[in-house]
Structure 1
């Protein structure tokens, strides 16, 4: 009996050690790290807003037991990183759920059986560059997860955040500033068809500028040679885009239908309903506005009704400041 009594006392003490301290531990684990980075907010924000960029600075990607892939858009809201472990039968995901240019990003982390967490980034311009605050919030289940969070997760994540932001500073310190952009109001518009001349092009990202320049140059030469009248700014109609390869028509509207010549085709542009927005900024940043259009389409139960197209309002040769370039974006819907 004496031995049994001792065993019971030991078990009670162990249970007390396991159960009582977590009563005084916070139910929410909160971690925050703040550092001042040398680069400007738009440069730093871009490296966080595109999840694939994290591979260059986030310590989590150094874990060789992780196998990951990306889903959704490359950047901004909806961008998602999904992973599994080579040595464990589980995984998780991180999704950008809110993104405001150059000032804020929020992500949702799903650790499957381990629960969920939310992470935030705040980007504040300061004289020295950008003050970046990176935090993490998660609920700790009583009692085990409170012990795990306090003894294991919090110290590890704190170290990871410190080193991650230091890596981000080293990565961005010599990067050129990203031209700022804005996305205007999104609305449904009825588009009138127009006569036009088009040249089809297929290229990768590196050859995009040269392909467009050659195509529009050929069309303008044809217009001048045949005394035709332009009826609007140039545009591009996108048939294929996968981040690497692109296929599109370069189009210049004309006042009256006219014959083409060789690769220059006579066409009628799209007419009908389209969701529309005005993008202000560099051509490289238009993907942000396209992603906003796609999100609007899904939220309002529209379906694609044709090939999306861009209308280039600003002539880059007349306005060198890319942040002032205006591009009208249209996505036909039904």
Structure 2
């Protein structure tokens, strides 16, 4: 009993100290870091809005080589989910769920697998002189009185989080800058579009599905060219995509795979239709790079049209000049992007 009394006194003192320190220590912790990425906002946005693209820059493998990642049925935009499982003493397990997405910011919920939760965010701002100021942030709460114990761990916790932000943003910067049109500067040219005749297959495509657009184009180009042979029709240009609409909210695009042919050529069957794009004023960007970064060209077009008070016509045209099967270097892939201008 003589020993028990001092133990109870010490225990009582520790409890009181914990309660007092808990009153002093914060319960809310918030961290963020900003880095300039020399790439258009659209390029950066594509890397954060599609959770599968996080593999291009995410720093987590550097911390935990056992990390395993899976994705939900939706992995792009609001409702997208990302699940991870790793070393219980390191990464643990958890889920990221996107709850807000716009060209200015993206927010997500963090669930640390029964060990608490928090929120995360990215903020994108056009930088003076070009590029995108990209901010990565995270916040969470430690309830009273457990927050008292953060007096010992807060410093190390902040360092670990900020180091993670630095590594991830640095890798994102490298990836985005290497995929933001390595050649040229996305200069917009005002041209006279000569007008063209296309054999097309048109469809509404859900672009949130992996490889949906490329899959549709590849299959449709094959079907059109297969039908051209027996009809004796020759290609008169490069394979092309025609985009009549692109709805971010629904995740769909009304588009057509198009093969240019001489005027008057006609092929029937397989849902193929002849489309005439008339001659007229248009804007042109010659984009070099992987198709995943082509959004930068469209963003540049939108900005040019708004700045100069122009009215965009339809359809938007992507002309795929370089055959990826013949040129493995993505930096040499040329896509001509045309925006018709309504007169």
Which of the five TM-score ranges fits, normalised by the shorter chain? 0.5 to 0.7
Q: 1:168 to 1:223 in 2, by over 3 A?
A: same
Residues 197, 152 of structure 1: alpha-carbon distance in 2 compared, 3 angstrom cutoff: closer
Deviation at 1:123, TM superposition (A): 0.7
Counterpart selection for 1:134 from 130, 136, 146: 136
| Equivalent position of 2:58 in the other structure | 58
C-alpha contact (below 8 Å) 2:86/2:93 kept by paired residues: yes
Give the TM-score normalised by structure 1. 0.56
What TM-score, normalized to structure 2? 0.55
SS in 2 for 1:42: helix
Kindly provide the CA deviation profile for residues 230-280 of structure 1, in whole angstroms up to 9, marking residues without a partner as x.
xxx9899xxxxxxxxxxxx9799xxxxxxx87xx34799xxxxxxxxxxxx
Alignment of 1:34 onto 2:38: no
Equivalent pair of 2:200/2:224 in contact (CA under 8 Å): no
1:69 aligns with 2:70: yes
1:161 aligns with 2:165: yes
Tell me the matched-pair count. 245
Residue in structure 2 matched with residue 18 of structure 1 by the alignment = 18
Q: Residue 38 of structure 2 contacts residue 130 of structure 2 at CA under 8 Å; is this kept in 1?
A: yes
Q: CA deviation at 1:162?
A: 2.0
Give the drift of 1:119: 0.7
Give the counterpart of 2:175 among 162, 171, 174: 171
Pick aligned residue for 1:212 from 210, 213, 220: 220
Q: Is the 8 A contact 2:26 2:147 kept in 1?
A: no
For 2:131 and 2:201, the matched residues in 1 are separated by: 45
Aligned residues: CA RMSD: 4.8
Aligned to 1:93: 95
Contact 1:198 1:219 in 2 (8 A): no
Query: Which residues in structure 2 correspond to 1:247-266 (within 5 Å)?
Result: 264-265=269-270
- What residue in structure 1 maps to residue 189 of structure 2? none
Contact 2:82–2:97 under 8 Å retained in 1: yes
Q: Is the 8 A contact 1:199 1:265 kept in 2?
A: no
In structure 2, stretches of 5+ residues that fail to align are 187-198, 204-210, 234-240, 245-255, 260-266, 274-286, 296-313, 320-334
Instruction: Tell me if the contact between 2:243 and 2:316 (Cα under 8 Å) persists in the aligned partners.
Output: no
Residue 208 of structure 1, CA deviation:
5.7
1:114 aligns with 2:122: no
**Partners of 1:140 and 1:110 in 2: how far apart?**
14
Match of 1:322 among 326, 333, 337: 337
Q: Is the 8 A contact 2:242 2:318 kept in 1?
A: no
Deviation at 1:12, TM superposition (A): 2.7
Distance 1:169 1:143, change over 3 A: same
Q: Which residue of 2 aligns with 1:46?
A: 46
Residues 314 and 99 of structure 1, relative CA distance in 2, 3 Å threshold: same
Distance in 2 between the 1:104 and 1:266 partners? 41
SS of 1:147's equivalent in the other structure is: helix
Question: 1:154 deviation in Å?
Answer: 3.1
Q: Label 1:114 to 1:167 Cα distance change in 2 as closer, same or farther (>3 A).
A: same
Separation (CA, whole Å) in 2 of partners of 1:30 and 1:204: 38
Kindly provide the CA deviation profile for residues 11-34 of structure 1, in whole angstroms up to 9, marking residues without a partner as x.
233223333212112221111112
How many angstroms does 1:124 deviate by?
0.8
What is the CA–CA distance in structure 2 between the aligned matches of 1:265 and 1:170, rounded to whole Å? 44
